[in-house]
Amino acid sequence: MRQVAAAGMGQERGGNVFGGDEKIGVLATRRRHRRLMAVSIALVVVLAGAVAAVALVRPWTDEFRHGKLIVAAAPALVESAPRVLPARSNAPAPSPAGIAAALAPVIGNPDLGAFAGQVSDPNSASVLWSAAADTPLVPSSTAKVLTAAAALLTLPVDHRVTTAVVTGAAANELVLVGGGDPTITAEPDGKGYYSNGPRLSDLVAQIRSTARPVDTIVVDTSAYAGPTMASGWDPIDIGDGSIAPIEPVMIDGGRSRPLVRYSSRTTTPALDAGKRLAAELGLDPARVRPGVAPDGAVEIASVRSAPLRERLHDMMVYSDNVLAEAIGREVAVANGGEASFRGGVAAIHAALSAAGFDMSGVDMHDSSGLSVDDRIPARLLDQVVATAAKPNGVTAVQPAGTNAKPEHDRTAATLAPMLDTLPVAGATGSLTDRFVGSDREGAGWVRAKTGTLSVSSALVGYVLDADGRVLTFALMSNDRPPEVSRPALDAIAGTLRNCGCS
């Protein structure tokens, strides 16, 4: 049959393969096949119709379709209403003895190296446990806890920083004046590394709207004073993506890849910002140079940073060193000081001292904690977080039966927003990949600022214990590599979460 069909196909395409009777025989065979196929198709159609009729007339029973199982009715719809509830005010108070017993198995771990720590109960404003808490150690990025606290104590949470473009000394010049904002972005969609950072495109649009002829961009960095790198910083960290030279105007913190956290950074962030502005204006980047805005310069364009509350969040969650140094200088300027490493440190010290914190033992050389020369005692770090965690800021309970309102601690109320800037264990920021393998009991419960250098690891924050009580802690390890000391610190925080230490 295959040969006959093939031959027939060949003949139909013009090849005279068969002749006479052979051709007639092939045609007769084809007619029989067509009749058989027609009958078969008709039978299939009839059978399909019969099946459909049965299905319509006698549907399958529930017992057949579900194997004699009874089908339950659909459950009633439930509307979820997720919400964050405060810690219970009547949760059992932990005891120092209970905390000490719980921590005993983990605080002796040799992986902690030179170790110091403190645990407090902010509800009762009492220290529950401490070890070498007055000994100043390298804090690494937990120093940002002090920077954030000083900023909240000094500045309104909606404070913004302005970057301006003004007229230059010559008619064809514009001056980009840095005001202390490293968060400007040049990304086409306006979404850079930092949350709601100002857009370079807005500066460009404002400049173009003036129709002013320009061929030169001058970059003014005079808002900042002193060196651009702090004592105890390693220049290798620029290429490794931890820092950029601190200048008062940058594009996405000086990152070469704007959306990558640890992207390599430029060594000339302000000048690069000026070159990018020139390029967006269609100017020759070679016509960009450093300089100072002339007296009487007229502002023709400006953009403002995100509010302080958002910048503090980015600084803490992602442990951003450039942003920390900018905020340190912002605090210094607000206090009438110099916008420099020294000025920022002095302003932080003054703000915390004025709020009643004991600053003895503190020796800081930057606002970010990147310097290996920094020293802070665990006592101070814990005290700052414990103050922020005081319930409702209440420091004195009025006698029963009186109508007097509770006395509120203004410092506690002012610092409380800092608690929301701390990374969540196993979920956000610098704690995303921690508490996910071992010590998983702390995941979602521990919120803490991390600190990591080659010579230091630290963890400062708070946790809700098994009884529902808030505990604050400052844990610091020196002289051990972070891959060794960080798991040991996490084990302590996880133990505090499991602790029913009343």
Q: Catalytic residue among 144, 275, 390, 449, which?
A: 144
pLDDT at 462 > cutoff 60: yes
Give, in degrees to the nearest 5, the angle at Cα 11 between 9 and 14.
115
Whether residue 368 lies in the annotated active site = no
Q: Give the span between the Cα atoms of 359 and 350, in whole angstroms.
A: 9
Tokens of 198: 């100002």
Kind and range of the H or E element at 379?
Answer: helix 378-388
Burial class of residue 237 in the structure, from the number of CB atoms within 10 Å of its CB (0-12 exposed, 13-18 middle, 19+ buried): middle
pLDDT at 405 > cutoff 50: no
- Write the single-letter amino acid at 235: P
Q: Tokens 């204006």 appear where?
A: 281
| Residue 72: predicted pLDDT | 76
Residues above pLDDT 90, as percent of the chain? 76
User: Mean pLDDT over residues 181-207, rounded?
Assistant: 97
- Note the pLDDT tens digit of each residue in 8-64: 333 333 333 333 444 334 334 444 444 445 444 444 444 444 444 444 444 555 555
Question: Reduced to 3 states, what is the DSSP secondary structure of residue 83?
Answer: coil
Tokens of 465: 């214990």
| Residue 56: predicted pLDDT | 46
Whether residue 141 lies in the annotated active site = yes
Residues 225, 338 contacting (CB under 8 angstroms): yes
pLDDT at 296 > cutoff 70: yes
| Residue 32: predicted pLDDT | 44
pLDDT at 89 > cutoff 90: no
Q: Catalytic residue among 319, 340, 367, 485, which?
A: 319
Residue 457, phi then psi, degrees to nearest 5: -135, 145
Kind and range of the H or E element at 407?
Answer: strand 407-408
Residue 403's CB is within 10 A of a number of other CB atoms, namely 5
Q: Tell me which of 87 and 492 has the higher pLDDT.
A: 492
Residue 368, phi then psi, degrees to nearest 5: -105, -20
- Note the pLDDT tens digit of each residue in 342-399: 999 999 999 999 999 999 999 999 999 999 999 999 999 999 999 999 986 444 433 4
What is 12-36 written as a DSSP string? Answer: HTT-----THHHHHHHHHHHHHHHH
Q: Tokens 């302003």 appear where?
A: 347
Task: For strands 126-131 and 114-121, give the pairing.
Answer: antiparallel
HEC states along 108-141?
CCHHHCEEEEEEEECCCCEEEEEECCCCEECCHH
What is 192-233 written as a DSSP string? Answer: -SSTT--BHHHHHHHHHHTT----EEEEE-TTS-S-SS-TT-
Residue 222, phi then psi, degrees to nearest 5: -70, -10
Q: Give the span between the Cα atoms of 431 and 118, in whole angstroms.
A: 20
Task: Lowest mean pLDDT of 60-69, 342-351, 440-449, name the range.
Answer: 60-69
| Residue 1: predicted pLDDT | 38
Task: Lowest mean pLDDT of 75-84, 244-253, 289-298, 418-427, name the range.
Answer: 75-84
Residues 276, 251 contacting (CB under 8 angstroms): yes
Task: Lowest mean pLDDT of 59-73, 292-306, 407-421, 435-449, name the range.
Answer: 59-73
Q: Catalytic residue among 120, 140, 141, 368, which?
A: 141
Question: Reduced to 3 states, what is the DSSP secondary structure of residue 7?
Answer: helix
Q: Give the span between the Cα atoms of 445 and 497, in whole angstroms.
A: 7
Residues 147, 273 contacting (CB under 8 angstroms): no
Q: Tell me which of 129 and 22 has the higher pLDDT.
A: 129
Residues above pLDDT 70, as percent of the chain? 83
Size of the chain, expressed as the number of residues it contains: 502
Residues 132, 118 contacting (CB under 8 angstroms): no
As a 3-state breakdown, the chain gives helix, strand, coil percent values, each rounded to 5, of 40, 15, 40
**In the beta sheet, which residues pair with residue 450?**
459
Give, in degrees to the nearest 5, the angle at Cα 242 between 460 and 304.
90
Q: Tokens 């140079």 appear where?
A: 289
Show Cβ contacts of residue 158 under 8 Å, excluding neighbours closer than 6 positions.
Answer: 307, 308, 309
Tokens of 208: 């173009």
| Residue 79: predicted pLDDT | 82
| Residue 354: predicted pLDDT | 97
Nearest Cα to Cα of residue 149 among 338, 406, 389, 361? 389
Q: Tell me which of 400 and 135 has the higher pLDDT.
A: 135
Mean pLDDT taken over the chain: 87
H helices of 254-377, in order, are 269-280, 308-317, 321-334, 341-354
